[in-house]
Amino acid sequence: METNNSFKDCVVIACGTLSPELNYLKNEGFLDAKKILYTTPGLHEIPRELESQLIDKIKKARELSNKIIVVYGGQFCYVNSYDVFRTIDTIISEQGEGIVRTQASHCVDMIAGKEEREKIANGEKVWWMTPGWILFRHDVFKDWDKGLANENFPKHTGGALLLDAIDFFNPYIEKYADKILEYSDWMGIPIIPHEVTLDRFKKKLLDQLHLLQGEST
């Protein structure tokens, strides 16, 4: 089985929440995919729409390649309360061969694994975020009001911890300090950046690339 680290024969389909990291990897030259297609951020709140968009993107990807990598978590990104046995992997398997999915529970887990997150949190209850949770706030928290925010965020005594692997936070707060302050006020907890690397995310992508390459040999 011969593998390499080039994505040039692949199409990547991802939740728009991870577009800052994926575009960073693209600009860096690591992710040389034929195309990157994005679904709307925050669709974990609307599983029916997520399913519809994912199937549509897979159809579009098929026009370009028979190797497709879906960048979605398996546990928390798609939860169908009407049919708990229907998972994101069920949807993907129904679309035929040549499609793989990054092995992680959700977007945060793609950047930092459970053990690393526990180490960073240091015993505190933390609300985890990535840059997309700031850029696409109104998609991610669509239909959330202040009451719902008060029910969910303040119990996270360690604050909202932003996993920053792309040097996002400092330039952003210099330009949009008012947005960060308003966001933090709405959540009722501080937003705290924590510098990490993209090493785990790169490995998750390469694992699936090599799986596809192995299947085609």
- What pLDDT, on the 0 to 100 scale, is given for residue 73? 86
Name the fold adopted by 11-106+198-215: Rossmann fold (3.40.50)
- What pLDDT, on the 0 to 100 scale, is given for residue 155? 96
Contact 38, 19 (CB under 8 A): yes
Element (H, E) at 215: helix 199-215
Ranges of the chain with pLDDT below 50: none
Cα(30)–Cα(154) distance, integer angstroms: 38
- What pLDDT, on the 0 to 100 scale, is given for residue 100? 96
- What pLDDT, on the 0 to 100 scale, is given for residue 215? 79
- What pLDDT, on the 0 to 100 scale, is given for residue 92? 92
* Intervals of CATH 3.40.50 along the chain: 11-106+198-215
- What pLDDT, on the 0 to 100 scale, is given for residue 2? 66
Percent helix, percent strand, percent coil in the chain, to nearest 5: 45, 15, 40
